[in-house]
Amino acid sequence: MKNGRRLEVFFEFLIFGIVIGIAEDLIAIALATGESITWKIVGIVVLVAIPFAILGEIIVDRIDFIQVFRKLMRKE
């Protein structure tokens, strides 16, 4: 049951990451280029956002950032 819950949380964060990634990329494109947002641009942004969201979730899921932070603080 624990693995099922972990997978559910992974997918929740993945979906959230994809949505936020798409939104921030569209905002950046609109502000940086002044171009109007078309369906072609949305499609490209979706294709770029999905792999980065997957990589982000895999990295975040595997790394214990609290432990890394503690190790860094001990070295100083």
List Cα–Cα distances, 15 to 33, 38, 49, 52, 70, in angstroms: 27, 22, 11, 12, 30
Q: Using one digit for the tens of pLDDT, what is the confidence trace for 57-72?
A: 887 767 777 777 788 8
pLDDT given for residue 60 in this prediction? 72
Domain residue extents for the chain: 2-75
Tell me the per-residue pLDDT of 33-42, one tens digit each, with 9 for 90 and over: 988 999 999 9
